[in-house]
Amino acid sequence: MHICICFLGLVRTFDSVVRELKQSLVEHTNAYTIIYVTWETEDTERFETEFPGATIIKMPIIDMTFPLFQEWKQGLQMHVSWRRTYGHNDRALYRYFLQIYLWHVASTFLKSLPSLSRFDILVRTRTDIVIEGPPLHTFYPFVSMNKKNLLYFPNSPRQGILQDDEGCPDQLFFGSPESVCSCLDIVKYTQKYKKTYVETRERWYSQPTIEENIIQPESTLYSMVVGEGFVPFFLPINVDVRR
């Protein structure tokens, strides 16, 4: 099999988790193409040492005046948990946009590759996670035979923030190149899949509250996956983000 592993985001704690990452993601009877999409300010020397021959794409830093961000954010609200973390809605939206903009860059690059159709599986992952449970590569044969419109996720999503128990963890997912590339272009779908948030448990507010046009990463990703005709399949692995 030929596996494409696409790392996205900041280097973060890559140095301390790379050994575990490689043990879970890479099995040497397969062929691998490694891609890393990050910002130009990131030091990728250790990554290049660990994955010689990897394609590394470093994007210029964008700020809140970036035209695509200004267009994308219209009418949207991040979930209250993000707004409280980042101080106000625009700042919270911007932080989320930085993530999905890199996803969009990766999707555009991958779709431009003549070799895309030759990949059996495309994996999207962060650089700062430890995968707990069976190594991810033990599922590659199963996924290769059953990929079609399925998207594979760890089995412990951060569910319930929108109180509908529907969420896909966005730290890691994989499947056919076509399905993963579609997910990576979620920047095109966030307006379509914005949600209404009903606060009934007095978790964030002291009284029942309804907010519209809400974005929340795991819930928005789930809505996009299902709404665009894909099927989320949760595997018996957990993902721990190492800070």
| HSE (side-chain half, CA atoms, 13 Å) at 63 | 1
Amino acid, single-letter form, for residue 172: L
Q: Measured between alpha carbons, how far is 45 from 66 in angstroms, rounded to an integer? A: 28
What is each CA distance from 216 to 8, 11, 97, 195, 197, in whole angstroms?
19, 23, 12, 9, 10
Q: Which pTM was predicted?
A: 0.92
Judged by phi (left if over 0) then psi (alpha if -120 to 50, else beta), residue 87 lies in left
DSSP 60: P
Dist CA 209 CA 132 (whole Å): 37
- Rounded Cα distance between 77 and 55, Å, is 35
Residue pLDDT, tens place only, 51-95:
999 999 999 999 999 999 999 999 999 998 899 999 999 999 999
pLDDT at 206: 65
Distance of CA 172 to the CA centre of its chain: 6
Domains of the chain: residue spans and CATH: 2-237 (3.90.550)
Which tens digit of pLDDT belongs to each residue from 127-169?
Answer: 999 999 999 999 999 998 887 889 999 886 555 455 555 788 8
Query: Would you state the pLDDT for residue 203?
Result: 67
In this predicted structure, what is the pLDDT of residue 211?
87
Q: Is the pLDDT of residue 197 over 80?
A: no
